[in-house]
Chains A and B, each alone.
Chain A
C-alpha cells in the first residue's frame, strides 16, 4: 500500500529513551485509550492537529539522521497509538528494513485483535518490526479499565502472540503511586512476564507531571491532580519486583 498516508503529530530527531540508542521518533495521531497519566493527550483525537506524511517521505526524513544512529539506533514509531495506523507503519518499516534500519514499535496494544482486517496488517507490520515496546499498565482488568478506559485482555493476548512468534519485547510500566504500584499486582505482572519467552528488558517509567500544561491547554480536566510523583524509594521497590533478572 505505497500510497497510504500517515497522520503524524510530532517528530523528534533525538529520541534516547524510545528504544535502543539514538532514535528518530515519529508520534502518530490518534489513540483510543484515555490513560489518566498520558503525557501526549494532544494525540488522542484521530482528527487532531497533525501533518500528513507518505511513508516514503517520512522514511526519507528519518534517514537523514542515519549518521547519528551508530550500531544500535534507528526509527521508533510511538504515539498516540501506532497500531491505529497499522498499514502506514507497516509500509514505513518495510522501507526502513530495505535499508537495514532498526525498527521499534512503541505501543500500548489496545487495537490488537486477531480479527480481520486488522490481523493481516498486524502480521505484515511484525515482519518488519525488530522490537516491540509494550506497556502493561495494569494486570487487573477492572483497574486497567479505570486507569485507561479500556480492557487489557487483548493487550495480554498481544504479548503472548509476540512471545509465541519470537518477537523481542521491552515491557514498560508507568508507576503511579497508589494506582499502579501495588506490590501484589506488580508480582502478578512479573509472573505474566516470566511466562513470556522474548522479553529482553523491563522498565519502570516513574509518573511525572510535566504534561499537565498540555491537558490544561486542551481544556481537559487533569484526573490525577494532586497525585504525587513516586519517590526514588518507591521506584526502587517496584523495580525490585518487576525488573529483577
Chain B
C-alpha cells in the first residue's frame, strides 16, 4: 500500500479547494468555487445568428413531427447502445454552428429502438407510428434474451395482475424504463472519464471481502458494467471528435462533456424521467473563469447554454399508446434546476441560473428541459422577479421550496423526476406508479368488488350495507383496504425493481453515481382531494348510498353542506393530513427492495385522467369516471374562496411525510394577477413568498386565460400556439400535444380570476 498523490490537471488551474481533487466530490468543488450573483437580468445576451438558425431548423423539424402524427422518424434496424451510432446533427449543413453536439440516434428527433425494457413494447411503439422493426431483431429479443417486461410478468402473482388490471395501482414501470436516476453528469466535465474509471476500479477492488453473498456478487457485476459504460462513453464522444478522458478545460468543453454524460443516459434508457439535474451553479464556475480570463464573451456564454438547452429540448423516446395516455404530450422530464441556497446560507444563484431561464426568452417557451426554480423567500429579489417575469410570459417554470428540501437533502440535490429530490450522485430512486386511494375507498364500500371491471379484486370482505354511510364504519373498513393496497403496491414494486436491476440496469447513469448509493422507494397517491372530500361529506353531512341490483355502489347523494379541501378549512384539510400519514406509515412498515427508504408523493402527472376513468362515483358527489384533480390540487369547483385559500390548504400537508413531493398546479388569469407586467411580477413573487414561507413544497404556475386554451384547442395550427406551453402536474407540455381528453381536463380546471 502507498499513499496516493493528489492528482492535478492543468484544466483545474484557478480552481480552489482540495477534497474534491482527492475524491469524486462535486459538491465540494462547487462550494469552494462558485460566486453568487445578486444583480438583475440586464447583463443577459440575446440569441446569436447561429442560435436563431439552428432553432429555426429544429422548429421546422418539430412541425414536421407533429404533422406526421407525433413521430418524425423511428429506428427499426439498430439496437440503441452507447456506440451504435456515429455522429448526428440537427442539420448536417449547419453542423459547425452547433456549440454542443450529440444526438440519441443518427438523425434529429429520430426515436431509438430500445428493446431491453420489453421487446413487445419496443415493437408496438414503432408499429403505432407506422414502422416495422426488423423481424430478426424481434426474434433475437424474444427467443434468446429476457427483457425486463418478460421477467416481471413471469413473476407476477395472480393478485398483482388483477390489481394492475383494475387500475387500483396504475402506471407501474413494468412496460417502460423506471427512470428517476440522475447521473451526476457534472463529474464527466470536472474529472474526465479516466479519473472516474480509476475510482470505480478501486471500488471494485474494495467490493466485498471475498465471501460471495448475493449482494456482493450483484454489486461486483454492476461495477463492472459501469466501468464498461464509462469506456463506451469515451468511444461515443470520440465519434464527435472529442476526447473526454481528461477534464474539461473551459466552459464550452464543460457543457459538452456534461452533455455527453447525459447523452449516454438517454441513449441507453427510456426511463419515464430522464432528468439533467442541478448543473447551473457548477457550470457557472467555468463560465466565470473564462469570462474573467477574457476568453469568452457574454454572447458566447449564452450561445453555449442556448445550444445545450436546445439538445435537452430534442430528447425523444418511442412510447406505446397506454404510456401516452398516462403521460401525455411526449414528456421526458429532462428536469433542470436553478436557484437554491447553500448549507452555509449563501444564495447559489449565479449568472448561469439567469442564463438558463433566459433560454425561454431567446428560444421561446418550451416544456423541456423541465425548468425548476429552487425557491426560497430569502433568494435575491432580482432573481425571484426575473423568474416570475419569465413565468408570466411563458408558463414554463415550476417552483419548489428549497427551505423544506434543503434540511432533508442538503444543498446539492437534483430533481430526479417532476418534483422529487435526490442527492446528486449519491442517491437513486426506485420509483413507480400510484395507489388509487379513491378506488380503495370504494372497495371499502363494496367489499373489494371492483365497480368498473365487475370482478373481485383482493380478498372478499364484508361490504357496507346501510342506507346512509356511517363515518366510523367507513373508516374501519377503509383502514383494511389502505393496508391491502399498501401491501400489494409495495410488493409489486419490489418485484419490478428487482427485475429492472437484473435485466435493464442503468450502467451509464450508475457509473456517474457513488458505488455506495442510497436508495429511496418512491410510492405515490392518487385521488387525494376526492378521498378528503368524500370522508368530509360522510363526517359532516349525510351521505345516502345508491346501489345497483348486485349491491354495488353506483352513486352517492349528499344531504347538507360539508367542508371541502381547498378552502383553508381545517376540518377538511386535517383529513388530508391524516390520509397521507396513515398511508405512508403503512408503506414504511413493509420491506422494501435493497433496503431502500420508503417515501410517498401526492403527484399524478397527467395520469389523473386515467385514474379518474377507472374510478366510480364517490361519496362527495363526484360522478363516476371523470378525471381526478391532479396531484395534491383540490377538486375542481371545490375552491370557493380564491387562490390563497386553496394554496393554504395544500401548504398544510407536511412535506416530511411526503418526501417524494406534493404537487400543486394553479392557473391564474393574467388580468386578475395585475394591471401591468410590473404588478403581475410583484404579485406573483408575493404569492410564492407567502405560499412557500408556510412550508409548502411545489407550485406549477400558469398565467393565461381559459379563452386562450379554447382558441388553441380549436385552432392548433395557429403559429402562436406551436410552442404554447402549459404546466401540468409536475411537468410542462405543449398544449396542442395533449390528447383531447386532457385538453378538456385542463380547460375544466379552476382558473383563478376575480370579477
Residues of A that sit less than 8 Å from B by CB: 11-18, 21-22, 24, 39-40, 64-65, 67-70, 73, 210-211
Contact of A14 among B643, B679, B693 (CB under 8 A): B643
Contacting pair A11 B686 (CB below 8 A): no
CA distance A50 to B679 in the complex (A): 32
Contact of A65 among B644, B672, B683 (CB under 8 A): B644
Known: A11-B641, A14-B672, A73-B686. 19 other contacts (CB 8 A): A11-B645, A12-B754, A13-B568, A13-B642, A13-B648, A14-B642, A14-B687, A14-B754, A16-B674, A16-B683, A18-B754, A22-B644, A22-B686, A22-B690, A39-B755, A40-B755, A68-B644, A68-B691, A69-B690
Contacting pair A67 B754 (CB below 8 A): no
Count B-side interface residues using an 8 Å CB cutoff.
25
Contacting pair A16 B689 (CB below 8 A): no
Contacting pair B755 A210 (CB below 8 A): yes
- Check if B673 is an interface residue, CB within 8 A of chain A: yes
Q: How many Å from the CB of B635 to the closest CB on chain A?
A: 17
CA distance A24 to B631 in the complex (A): 26
Contact of A12 among B642, B648, B673 (CB under 8 A): B642
Contacting pair A14 B644 (CB below 8 A): yes
Contacting pair A211 B755 (CB below 8 A): yes
Q: How many Å from the CB of A150 to the closest CB on chain B?
A: 22
A203 nearest CB neighbor, chain B only: B675
B671 nearest CB neighbor, chain A only: A17
Contacting pair A64 B568 (CB below 8 A): yes
**Given A22-B683, A22-B686, A211-B755, A67 contacting B645 (CB threshold 8 A):** no
Contacting pair A70 B752 (CB below 8 A): no
**Given A22-B686, A65-B690, A70-B686, A15 contacting B755 (CB threshold 8 A):** no
Residue among B642, B648, B679 with the highest chain A CB neighbour number at 10 A: B642
CA distance A15 to B672 in the complex (A): 8
Contacts of B690 in A (CB 8 A): 22, 65, 67-69
Contacts of B673 in A (CB 8 A): 16
CA distance A122 to B643 in the complex (A): 32
B645 nearest CB neighbor, chain A only: A13
CA distance A15 to B755 in the complex (A): 9
Q: How many Å from the CB of A132 to the closest CB on chain B?
A: 20
Q: Chain B 356-392 against A: per-residue CB contact (8 Å), 1 yes, 0 no?
A: 0000000000000000000000000000000000000
CA distance A64 to B755 in the complex (A): 23
Contacts of B683 in A (CB 8 A): 16, 21-22
Provide 10 A-B residue pairs closer than 8 Å at the C-beta atoms, listed in order of the A residue: A13-B644, A16-B673, A16-B674, A18-B754, A22-B687, A64-B648, A67-B689, A68-B644, A68-B690, A70-B682
**Given A14-B754, A22-B683, A65 contacting B648 (CB threshold 8 A):** yes
Contacting pair A17 B686 (CB below 8 A): no
Contacts of A69 in B (CB 8 A): 686, 690
Contacting pair A12 B687 (CB below 8 A): no
Query: Which secondary structure dominates chain A's binding surface?
Result: loop
Contacts of B201 in A (CB 8 A): none
A211 nearest CB neighbor, chain B only: B755
CA distance A211 to B754 in the complex (A): 12
Contacts of A70 in B (CB 8 A): 682, 686, 689
**Given A13-B644, A16-B674, A68 contacting B754 (CB threshold 8 A):** no
User: 4 smallest A-B Cβ distances: which pairs?
Assistant: A68-B690, A13-B644, A67-B690, A14-B643
Q: How many Å from the CB of B300 to the closest CB on chain A?
A: 38
CA distance A107 to B547 in the complex (A): 52
Contacts of B648 in A (CB 8 A): 13, 64-65
- Check if B694 is an interface residue, CB within 8 A of chain A: yes
Contacts of B669-704 to chain A: CB distance below 8 A: 672-675, 679, 682-683, 686-687, 689-691, 693-694
Contacting pair B686 A68 (CB below 8 A): yes
Contacting pair A16 B672 (CB below 8 A): yes
CA distance A202 to B700 in the complex (A): 35
B694 nearest CB neighbor, chain A only: A67
Contacting pair B686 A15 (CB below 8 A): no
Contacts of A16 in B (CB 8 A): 672-674, 679, 683, 754
Q: How many Å from the CB of B571 to the closest CB on chain A?
A: 14
Contacts of B752 in A (CB 8 A): 14
Contact of A13 among B643, B675, B682 (CB under 8 A): B643
Contacts of B691 in A (CB 8 A): 67-68
CA distance A22 to B690 in the complex (A): 11
CA distance A81 to B462 in the complex (A): 56
CA distance A18 to B640 in the complex (A): 18
Contacts of A21 in B (CB 8 A): 682-683, 686
CA distance A127 to B418 in the complex (A): 51
CA distance A17 to B671 in the complex (A): 9
Contacts of B682 in A (CB 8 A): 21, 70
B568 nearest CB neighbor, chain A only: A64
Q: How many Å from the CB of A212 to the closest CB on chain B?
A: 12
CA distance A168 to B417 in the complex (A): 51
Q: How many Å from the CB of A11 to the closest CB on chain B?
A: 5
Contacts of B91-132 to chain A: CB distance below 8 A: none
Contacts of B644-671 to chain A: CB distance below 8 A: 644-645, 648
CA distance A65 to B644 in the complex (A): 7
Contacts of B687 in A (CB 8 A): 14, 22, 68
B685 nearest CB neighbor, chain A only: A70
B646 nearest CB neighbor, chain A only: A13
B690 nearest CB neighbor, chain A only: A68
CA distance A82 to B60 in the complex (A): 58
Q: How many Å from the CB of A94 to the closest CB on chain B?
A: 23
Contacts of B643 in A (CB 8 A): 13-14
Contacts of A73 in B (CB 8 A): 686
B644 nearest CB neighbor, chain A only: A13
Contacting pair B689 A68 (CB below 8 A): yes
Contacting pair A12 B686 (CB below 8 A): no
Q: How many Å from the CB of A37 to the closest CB on chain B?
A: 12
